[in-house]
């Protein structure tokens, strides 16, 4: 089975990105073959400064490696280092009905958020289809928000196969665990767009400050509280061991505690949880040559497969 997924380099990852997506990608890296890439071509539609995009792309690669992506198990590369993707993108775009893209919600969402109306945002799902089809991917782990793009990819691949013969493998989405929705500092879903996020790699001191400022309700200390619906409890559950989580749940039901104590526990648990990743991140930053080598090897492995698939597609549609 071949697994593939991409991450846009649009900023530093927060706790929601980790538990909702990154951790689950990394858990799949031991599959037969896994390809993970930094989607810098996609990010071009919104990150419009060269130095920023370059830095975000390297940061995203270091973040994944620090968080446990093992380059001996999975190929890690930068999307634009595989030029076959851009070529395949055009082969797919040439036959994609406008209506298929007009139905996609993600570009409408971006435009509603105030991003400029560029055609790259509109054609974004076609480039994503090229990413997926270029490696004969079987499974694509994605969050709920990306499921429609995988459907579009399947439609594009089926139409191409129907027109030109069996060229592409039809991929399946693997939806990530939606229960892993991480609350932000205001209790709503943690998101870059809501300004309620805590970054994985931010300094422990500022992380602790943000945790201590998480909003809470005004119930009295002695009152019993339901753990399941409390966002502080949900946050603690991300980091604590099973025993710690169970005893925290008992404490909630019994009442008699202050939210400040819970916040301290969350901050400590989060600092411990990410400490090994923080150390690995510093080691990677000190060795830019090593990062270059990992990304170079990853791109070589990816190009090997992508050039084979591109050739198949080019031949089928009369370009070779």
Residues at the contact surface with ligand TRP, assessed by CB under 6 A: 4-6, 8, 39, 42, 128, 131-132, 140, 142, 146
- Catalytic site residue 110? yes
Q: Which one of 174, 181, 192, 264 is the catalytic residue?
A: 192
Choose from ligand ADP, ligand TRP, none: what does 6 bind? Cβ within 5-8 Å by kind. Answer: ligand TRP
Q: For ligand ADP, which is the closer residue by CB, 20 or 298?
A: 20
Choose from ligand TRP, ligand ADP, none: what does 5 bind? Cβ within 5-8 Å by kind. Answer: ligand TRP
Question: In the bound complex, which residue of the shown chain has the CB atom lying closest to ligand TRP?
Answer: 6
- SS3 for the chain is CEEEEEECCCCCCEHHHHHHHHHHHHHCCCCCEEEEEECHHHHCCCCCCHHHHHHHHHHHHHHHHHCCCCCCCEEEEEHHHCCHHHHHHHHHHCCCCHHHHHCCHHHHHHHHCCCCCCHHHHHHHHHHHHHHHCCCCCEEEECHHHHHHHHHHHHHHHHHHHHHCCCCCCCEEEECCHHHCCECCCCCECCHHHCCCCECCCCHHHHHHHHHCCCCCCCCCCCCCCHHHCHHHHHHHHHCCHHHHHHHHHHHHHCCCCHHHHHHHHHHHHHHHHHHHHHHHHHHHCCHHHHHHHHHHHHHHHHHHHHHHHHHHHHHCCCC
**Count of beta carbons in the 10 Å neighbourhood of residue 284:** 18
CB of 8 to ligand TRP, least distance (A): 5
Q: For ligand TRP, which is the closer residue by CB, 22 or 214?
A: 22
Q: Are 59 and 9 in contact (CB under 8 A)?
A: yes
CB of 4 to ligand TRP, least distance (A): 6
CB of 83 to ligand ADP, least distance (A): 25
Can you give the binding site for ligand ADP, defined by CB under 6 A? 16-17, 20-21, 143, 145, 180-182, 189-193
Cα angle for residues 76, 78, 80 (degrees, 5° grid): 145
Q: For ligand ADP, which is the closer residue by CB, 19 or 122?
A: 19
Q: Which one of 23, 181, 189, 264 is the catalytic residue?
A: 189
Choose from ligand ADP, ligand TRP, none: what does 20 bind? Cβ within 5-8 Å by kind. Answer: ligand ADP
Q: For ligand ADP, which is the closer residue by CB, 277 or 317?
A: 277
CB of 42 to ligand TRP, least distance (A): 5
Choose from ligand TRP, ligand ADP, none: what does 189 bind? Cβ within 5-8 Å by kind. Answer: ligand ADP
Q: Which one of 110, 208, 225, 265 is the catalytic residue?
A: 110
CB of 74 to ligand ADP, least distance (A): 17
Q: For ligand ADP, which is the closer residue by CB, 96 or 185?
A: 185
Q: How far is residue 88's CA from residue 140's CA, in Å, rounded to a whole number?
A: 18
Choose from ligand TRP, ligand ADP, none: what does 281 bind? Cβ within 5-8 Å by kind. Answer: none
Choose from ligand TRP, ligand ADP, none: what does 190 bind? Cβ within 5-8 Å by kind. Answer: ligand ADP
Q: How far is residue 146's CA from residue 319's CA, in Å, rounded to a whole number?
A: 31
Q: For ligand ADP, which is the closer residue by CB, 110 or 303?
A: 110
Q: Which residues are catalytic?
A: 110, 189, 192
């Amino acid at each position: 089975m071949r697994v593939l997924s991409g991450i846009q380099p649009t900023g530093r990852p927060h706790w929601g990105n980790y538990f909702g997506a990154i951790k689950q990608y990394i858990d799949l890296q031991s599959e037969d073959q896994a390809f993970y890439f930094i989607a810098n071509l996609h990010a071009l539609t919104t990150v419009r400064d060269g130095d920023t995009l370059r830095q975000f792309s390297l940061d995203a690669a270091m973040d994944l490696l620090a968080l446990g992506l093992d380059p001996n198990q999975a190929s890690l590369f930068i999307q634009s280092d595989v030029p076959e993707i851009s070529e395949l993108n055009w082969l797919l775009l040439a036959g994609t009905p406008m209506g298929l893209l007009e139905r996609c919600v993600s570009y409408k969402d971006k435009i509603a958020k105030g991003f400029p109306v560029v055609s790259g945002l509109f054609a974004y799902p076609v480039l994503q289809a090229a990413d997926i089809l270029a490696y004969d991917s079987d499974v694509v782990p994605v969050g709920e928000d990306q499921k429609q793009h995988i459907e579009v990819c399947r439609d594009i691949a089926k139409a191409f196969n129907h027109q030109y013969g069996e060229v592409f493998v039809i991929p399946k989405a693997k939806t990530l665990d939606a229960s892993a929705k991480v609350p932000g500092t205001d209790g709503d879903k943690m998101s870059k767009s809501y300004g309620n996020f805590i970054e994985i790699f931010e300094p422990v001191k500022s992380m602790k400050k943000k945790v201590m400022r998480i909003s809470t309700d005004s119930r009295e200390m002695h009152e019993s509280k339901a753990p399941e619906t409390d966002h502080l409890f949900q946050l603690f559950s991300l980091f604590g061991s099973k025993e710690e989580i169970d005893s925290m749940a008992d404490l909630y039901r019994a009442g008699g505690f202050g939210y400040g104590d819970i916040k301290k526990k969350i901050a400590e648990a989060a600092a411990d949880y990410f400490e090994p990743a923080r150390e690995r991140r510093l080691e990677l930053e000190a060795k830019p040559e090593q990062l270059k080598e990992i990304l170079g090897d990853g791109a070589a492995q990816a190009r090997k497969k992508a050039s084979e698939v591109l050739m198949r597609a080019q031949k089928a549609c009369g370009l070779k």
